[in-house]
Structure 1
């Protein structure tokens, strides 16, 4: 009887260890901060602007305008560049009438020329937080980020108001309803960044304004559970083994 009780106790103990190990494995995270775009001109992307229909256009000028300017948030880099060629992305905007006007800021392949098609920036891991530094001049506007999931669905993330003075870090958690994994292997299904969209409100003037963006970053979980045969889920292995039909 005692031997049977001891055996049952051992089985319960081993089951508890297995359960705790499995639970701990699912909860393991390795967070890494990654700069997706510094706007210093050293990435694989250039940036373009598009705008809604009331953007000012004339024979002399077309708005909005984009420029890379020698400016940066002091809170990040301080006053001294330390020899770095720091820049931020500047937007000069004008609209002919008030309303819910918008300006899209989106990446294209570097050196793709004036006709370069929009590109999307892969986001590694399971992103937890997205943030960008925005310089505003107290206009009552707001900014959104658009990301695409593995099913091709584009999700809108409200980054918040830019009705502030000077540089401010806009930092937002990624909503849980945006899928970044699935049940089947490979489980990880990362997002891609599509664009920023800046909105004006109908009560705010829109005849002349400047906005600057810098240090677009993510905080992402790069941990993936290892298992026997996990290399078979690697996209490069699948491509090499099975060709372009996948």
Structure 2
């Protein structure tokens, strides 16, 4: 009985002290240091400059070429943040790619920028407008993370007619931020890959691209100290 009284006294003493330490703290704000985000949609490339892009295909699979055409998806909406900031960029053209297959079999088409396109922040999704011409070919995007690791993500099948916006979320396995070096964040887009369906690798294939966009978290960039040093030497 005496031991029970001692334990009860200790509990009565500890509980009020713990409750007192929580006074003045809003529990709803706990953990916000790791949950703050500033998501923004940005236009990565509008495919206005055909000289920035090039196309490749193994010579034993077929021939591939590209051209710039005037046009745009009618359902494409402007980015509100760009309009609010008064940003006006040319947006009159799309990129057309034509492949002529030699025979049925495995085939790939690479659409590659002249240099990898850097997207800062923590990128959540990538999207691009495509005319797929209702083939069972598959569009993939080729990426590189902050540490130089590459990944190829499937954006979707091209088995639809007219313009369609294909979107892919970026997995958490892509390391987009270095905890030691704040200047090192985001991804680099190295190109697109069209993986052709073997049963449809015949004749000519046409595909068109417009407005590559990203939704990215710019919070890590905004909290970066202005007087920080750049580790790029």
Same fold (TM over 0.5): yes
Cα distance, 1:214 vs structure 2: 0.4
| CA distances 1:173-218 after superposition (whole Å, capped 9, x unpaired) | 1112111123334285211100100111111133211100001000
Maintained 8 Å contact 1:100/1:200: yes
Other structure's SS at 2:219 match: coil
**1:25 partner SS:** helix
Q: Which residue of 2 aligns with 1:81?
A: none
- 1:26-61, Cα deviation, whole Å (9 max, x unpaired): 11111111111101239xx710011123343xxxxx
C-alpha contact 2:143 2:150 (8 A) present in aligned 1: yes
Q: Cα distance, 1:4 vs. partner?
A: 9.4
1:22-33 equivalence runs, <5 A: 23-33=31-41
User: How many positions carry a matched residue from both structures?
Assistant: 212
Rounded to whole Å, the distance in 1 between the matches of 2:185 and 2:207 is 33
The normalised TM-score by structure 1 is 0.75
With the length of structure 2 as denominator, give the TM-score of the two structures: 0.79
Q: Do structure 1's residue 66 and structure 2's residue 72 form an aligned pair?
A: no
The equivalences for 1:189-208 within 5 A come to 189-208=185-204
Aligned equivalent of 1:238: 230
Pick closer, same or farther for the CA change 1:29–1:94 going to 2, 3 Å.
same
CA RMSD of aligned residues (A): 3.0
Task: Report the counterpart of residue 168 of structure 1 in structure 2.
Answer: 164
* 1:175-186 → structure 2 map (5 Å cutoff): 175-186=171-182
Cα distance 1:95–1:164, how it changes in 2: closer, same or farther (>3 A)?
same
Q: Which runs of 5 or more residues in structure 2 are unaligned?
A: 1-11, 79-89
> Matches of residues 33-182 of structure 1 in structure 2 within 5 Å?
33-41=41-49, 46-56=52-62, 63-76=63-76, 86-108=92-114, 119-182=115-178
Q: Greater Rg, structure 1 or structure 2?
A: 2
User: Displaced runs of 4+ in structure 1, greater than 6 A?
Assistant: 2-6
- Residues 88 and 212 in structure 1, CA contact (< 8 A), matched pair in contact too: yes
Distance 1:65 1:204 in 2: 18
2:7 is aligned to none
1:85 deviates by 5.7
Cα shift readout 1:135-172 (whole Å, capped 9, x = no counterpart) = 02111101100110122111011001001111111011
> Once the 2 structures are TM-superposed, how far is the Cα of residue 107 of structure 1 from its aligned partner?
0.8
